[in-house]
Amino acid sequence: MKKIIFYSLLIILISKSCKKDDDSVKIRDVADQALADDTDLKNFLETHFYNYEDFEKLDDFENLDIIIDSIFDDNINKTPLINKVFKKNIPIESDNGPINHTLYYLPVREGNGENPSKVDSVYVSYEGSLLDGSIFDRSNIPIWFDLTSVVMGFKEGVSEFKPGDFSVNDDNTINYQNYGQGLIFIPSGLGYFAQSSSLIPEYSPLIFKISLFTIKKTDHDGDGILTIDEYDIDNDGVPDDSDGDGILDYLDKD
């Protein structure tokens, strides 16, 4: 549990350091940007593929990286990502009402556990990149993410994947197998939108490669009620504060 708290705090600090407001950036219309992002994402998905043939031959105990490449030259007959991905329409509130943002995801390796909820903690390795292929963040060593502390597109995507099994060796090291792997394609409205950092320009769609090893159901306030059971009881997409004391239910022991 201490490790979960440590990594959760670390991710929050990293997220805050990445998301710096740039006053010189003109805030774009949310609906226009959602449409532009979806056009860019579809173009990428139509012109790229992943090494699906390698995964078709993969056994339960093998480890294999997801590789994305362009459909060009020797790869001209590969099946494009657009023919394999699933999509989710996620509404985001704006001045003109809710605007749908389309997130694309692809479970490359199924996994065999229970999907995490959007408020659980997940033990993952990952790589984040832009559509031009430049990598802005990665961790080859699995770390814990608290899904309440990450951008919406990441939590929505990871919740579509499943973890795997593990066994403990005599030296207390752990082997993971049958774990889930996948890709998430996130429009900027479900990412950092107008915020930018040195590695992520404003209004950037994001790509994540994910390996999901295990999950932990969370009880953030330690009141004996799982976060999923008190986070958003009315299902309006907003964390609840039932007693109106300014502390969200999932963080409020009262």
Decide which of 3 and 136 is more confident.
136
Q: Which two tokens stand for residue 221?
A: 């306030």
- Residues 104-162 have pLDDT tens digits of 999 999 898 899 999 999 999 999 999 999 999 999 999 999 999 999 999 999 999 99
For tokens 């049958």, the residue is 178
Q: Which amino acid is at 245?
A: D
Report the pLDDT value the prediction gives residue 50, as an integer from 0 to 100: 97
Domains in the chain (CATH in brackets) are 2-218 (3.10.50.40), 221-254 (no CATH)
- Residues 157-195 have pLDDT tens digits of 999 999 998 888 888 888 888 899 999 999 999 999 999
Does the pLDDT of residue 24 top 80, yes or no? Answer: no
Does the pLDDT of residue 59 top 80, yes or no? Answer: no
- In the structure, what pLDDT confidence band is assigned to residue 96 with cuts at 50, 70 and 90? confident
- Residues 198-216 have pLDDT tens digits of 899 999 999 999 999 999 9
- In the structure, what pLDDT confidence band is assigned to residue 60 with cuts at 50, 70 and 90? low
Q: How far is it, in rounded angstroms, from Cα 139 to Cα 12?
A: 16
**Structural contact between residues 89 and 98, judged by C-beta atoms closer than 8 angstroms:** no
The phi, psi pair for 176, rounded to 5°, reads: -105, 140
pTM for this predicted structure: 0.86
**Structural contact between residues 50 and 81, judged by C-beta atoms closer than 8 angstroms:** yes
Radius of gyration over every alpha carbon of the chain, rounded to an integer in angstroms? 19
Biggest alpha carbon–alpha carbon distance for the chain: 62
Strand partners, 105: 86, 184
Does the pLDDT of residue 28 top 80, yes or no? Answer: yes
